[in-house]
Chain A
Amino acid sequence: MIVELGHFALVLAFSLAVLQSVLPLWGTVSNNNRLMATADTSSIGILFFVTAAFASLMWSYAVSDFSVVNVWQNSHSQMPFLYKLTGTWGNHEGSMLLWVFILALFAAAVSMFGANLPNKLRANVQVVQAWMLATFLLFILVTSNPFARQPAAVEGQDLNPILQDIGLAIHPPMLYLGYVGFSITFAFAIAALMEGRLDSAWARWVRPWAMIAWTFLTAGIAMGSYWAYYELGWGGWWFWDPVENASFLPWLSGTALLHSALVMEKRDALKIWTVLLAILTFSLSLLGTFLVRSGVLTSVHTFASDPSRGLFILAILCAFVGGALFLFVLRSSKLEEGGLFAPVSREGALVFNNVILSAAAATVLIGTLYPVIYEAITDDKISVGAPFFNLSFGLVMIPLLIAIPFGPLLSWKRGDLLGIGQRLLFALGVAIAATIAIGVSIEGGPWLAPIGIGLSVWLMVGSFAELVQRAGFRKVDFSTSIRRLKGLPRSVWSTAFAHFGIGVTLFGIVAVTAFETETIASMKPDQTVQSGKFVLRYDGDISTVGPNYSERGANFSILRDGELVGVARPSKRFFPARQMPTSEASIHTFGFSQLYVALGDVEEGGAVTVRIWWKPFITLIWLGCVVMVIAGSFSLSDRRLRIGAPQKRKKKKKGESVAA
């Protein structure tokens, strides 16, 4: 019964979305405020019904109702309760429902927090959101109904063992909040084009939403990377897999959007470009969804390769992206663009940021889609691997990384490069010292490593230059400096920490790429093997039984200088329901570095094969992202960024003819 109610709720949500696609639009045309206001009610209704549908699917997972096909295919009665719940979105149908649920959440957010938006703008935004909701709800109802029934089965087919992990509880919701969060900025961009007006109030509205989406996306990507790292047992943290790229592309353009919206807000310029970025960012999110769902590209992630679904999503993609770009071409000439900027100025630096990020995104896009295009033209199948991305993306990003500390120090309109150079001398000194120190200590090692480390140190130290400057250390007495620091807008702190986070991540990437060591050994009991500073001794194996799997593990003593510092217990699990084994790597953290032990096969004669990595400073890769996420959240608490910034708008209302 509950399942049928869920299905029914989904149909109701779809009907409401269709209504909301039309009524408010009619209202804007006929200047009828009551028609426009219907969207405020209907979007809450949609959220209510989609939540009900989602909850009922989750309920059938919780109680292991195997008469639901989706539950039967992806769950097992013996699974731990948490995995039963997260299994709700560990499959194509459920994850699409999560996607739409988050879309509905963001649509309702505009109704709830948008009271201070001009009526027409709000109505148009809600209409665009309703178009998306209606389309994706239709997609679910037609091609991927999670509520389909069958004669009840006794036992389920189990959730893919790889997904039976806490990572599934966190990674997809985070990633979707980021991906789908950009639907708001997309809706705002389209609404602005429909109305043909765009002012800095628009940018003030868009920026916090872009920031929310960006923050979640950063967290989602980092979480996904760490999950792949510990779960797959390959020891890698980024594979340049098409699906990873699909989430990275909106991140790159979303980052560019955050920076260009800043220019628009402060200088009332770069409007057309900002609107285009808002459109492109969500288009890249849609592209990501399409790539994951359609199986067009061979990836380690793909869930569902049902061609009819892929075609449907491709149609959605073409309609939304094509429609948006068409509208953009049609209307963008009506928007007034500000003048050019002085190259050495804050806005100049932000434009530079946008140029580089766009170029970087373009290289990733080329590498991701090249195999598809190549196959279409020549019928040969190729794959584009990590070397391509490391070379092209890596080199393109370097000028930006060098420039980051300069940006926040430059003043608007006209900056003073020489003066800023002086303020960054300290950071430069530390960076050079680090480069030399590393260069000397590795003598004859990879020559790129010291430079990379130097660059990351430059970023980490240089990011705080603005804080130091604003506090006026050494110019005024210490307590005044501290008071000034406390009084700084939160966005200044966030900028510093977000940039610092990039430095931290870069440090981790460089260190682990240059200095990681890998040891593969075949060991018998009591044999030892050396890895970095550590010696591992194989102590024998143990078998255990879990709720829905059997496990065979091996015990290794980790010794440093002859002293026991830990016990590694990598294992292999076997899930009978799916006849599928998984590896559980054993990871020990020492400071920021990790010792990663993965188990291979047991050979005849009792020997085991084992793969051991020493990964120096690897946790910094994710800790840097954590810093960025904290910085993003902190900036949202800034008064200037608070959604809607109500007081300012009211005052502005009279003289609002600023924009075209």
Chain B
Amino acid sequence: MSRKTNRLFWIGTIGCVMALALGLSMYALRSGISFAMSPSELKAASVTSGQRVRLFGLVEEGSVKKGEGLNVEFSLTDNSQTISVSFNKILPDLFRENQGIITEGYLDAGGHFQADTVLAKHDENYMPADMAEKLKEQGVWQGAGDDK
């Protein structure tokens, strides 16, 4: 193989692999991401029903209702808007009322959030960073020291 074809080969290989990686990343980013929103943002946003989003907020006090089997319903709030959420798997250990949590799922046609994942943080003072920011803006932040 001449020097020239050899060089072409390597440039070609590296180019192809990088293009493949980039292309795949771009493609995967279109479907693999989900937007994170608070209840107010979700209500204001024009999400088509069925589109995956991450919804974060506080579990409203007194809103948790256990239904048949594993079904559970609760309301997520950011203290201005509230959205009811249903979920039918086992809730995480740290799921509590007045606790900041993140759910993943989609908004159904009735404006009801169907969650398939509920995340609560390991730490008892945890609140999703995005959420804490929002609550601070609205002046209702009352987390304990967020140090640690």
Interface of A toward B, CB cutoff 8 Å: 73-74, 91-92, 160, 162, 233, 295, 298, 300, 303-306, 340-343, 351-352, 355-356, 359-360, 362-363, 366-367, 370-371, 380-389, 391-392, 395-396, 399, 520, 522, 572, 578-583, 598, 600-601, 603, 609, 611
Contacts and interface: CB of A to CB of B under 8 A. Distances in A.
Contacts of A355: 13-14, 17-18
A165 to B, nearest CB: 12
5 contacts: A162-B122, A304-B148, A342-B1, A386-B32, A395-B24
B65 interface: no
A601 B91 contact: yes
Contacts of A359: 17-18, 20-21
Interface string B136-148: 0000000000111
Contacts of A382: 33-36
B21 A383 contact: no
Nearest to B31: A387
Interface string B17-40: 110111011011101111111000
Given A74-B148, A381-B130, A598-B90, 10 more contacts: A91-B148, A162-B122, A340-B7, A343-B9, A359-B18, A367-B32, A389-B32, A392-B27, A572-B93, A582-B93
B20 A396 contact: yes
Q: Which 9 A-B pairs have the closest CB atoms?
A: A388-B32, A600-B90, A359-B21, A381-B36, A391-B28, A392-B24, A387-B32, A581-B93, A388-B28
A304 B119 CA distance: 19
A370 B22 CA distance: 13
Contacts of B35: 380-382
Nearest to B72: A601
A277 to B, nearest CB: 15
- The secondary structure that dominates the A interface is mixed
B24 A343 contact: no
B44 interface: no
A370 B29 contact: yes
Contacts of A360: 21
A304 B147 contact: yes
A331 B130 CA distance: 43
Interface of B: 1, 3, 6-7, 9-10, 13-14, 17-18, 20-22, 24-25, 27-29, 31-37, 54, 66, 69-70, 89-91, 93-94, 102, 119, 121-124, 128-130, 146-148
B70 A609 contact: yes
A236 B18 CA distance: 30
A195 B28 CA distance: 44
A305 B146 contact: yes
Given A520-B90, A580-B124, A600 B31 contact: no
A160 B94 CA distance: 12
Contacts of A298: 36, 102, 128-130
Given A304-B148, A359-B18, A366 B25 contact: yes
A306 B128 CA distance: 14
A40 to B, nearest CB: 39
A603 B66 CA distance: 9
Nearest to A344: B1
A160 B21 contact: no
A486 to B, nearest CB: 38
A591 to B, nearest CB: 27
A600 B36 contact: no
B90 A611 contact: yes
A382 to B, nearest CB: 5
A392 B28 CA distance: 6
B69 to A, nearest CB: 5
A388 B28 CA distance: 5
Given A352-B13, A381-B130, A385-B32, A343 B6 contact: yes
A363 B122 CA distance: 28
Residue from the set A305, A380, A383, A572 with the largest chain B CB neighbour count within 10 Å? A383
A172 to B, nearest CB: 15
A519 B24 CA distance: 34
A392 B21 contact: yes
Residue from the set A74, A343, A351, A598 with the largest chain B CB neighbour count within 10 Å? A343
Given A300-B119, A303-B148, A370 B33 contact: yes
B25 A367 contact: yes
Contact of A383 (B54, B121, B124): B54
Contacts of B20: 359, 395-396
B49 to A, nearest CB: 19
A381 B34 CA distance: 9
Nearest to B19: A359
A73 B125 CA distance: 13
Contacts of B121: 300
A583 B120 CA distance: 13
Contacts of B89: 520, 611
A343 B8 CA distance: 11
A303 B121 CA distance: 11
A304 B146 CA distance: 8
Given A381-B37, A609-B90, A522 B70 contact: yes
A391 B32 contact: yes
A246 B77 CA distance: 32
Nearest to A572: B93
A160 B122 contact: yes
Contacts of A371: 33
A125 B65 CA distance: 62
Nearest to B7: A340
Contacts of A395: 20, 24
B91 A340 contact: no
Contacts of B7: 340
A340 to B, nearest CB: 5
B95 to A, nearest CB: 10
A387 B147 contact: no
Nearest to B147: A306
A384 B33 contact: yes
Nearest to A360: B21
Contacts of A295: 129
A305 B54 contact: no
Contacts of B129: 295, 298, 305
Contacts of B102: 298
A64 B121 CA distance: 27
B148 A520 contact: no
Contacts of A399: 17
Contacts of A340: 3, 6-7, 10
Contacts of A233: 93
Contacts of B17: 355-356, 359, 396, 399
A366 B7 CA distance: 28
Contacts of B147: 304, 306
Nearest to A74: B148
Nearest to A304: B148
Contact of A579 (B10, B32, B34, B124): B124
Contacts of A601: 66, 90-91
A580 B124 CA distance: 7
A392 B91 contact: no
B29 A363 contact: no
Nearest to A604: B66
Nearest to A348: B10
A559 B29 CA distance: 45
Contacts of A385: 32-34
Nearest to B45: A380
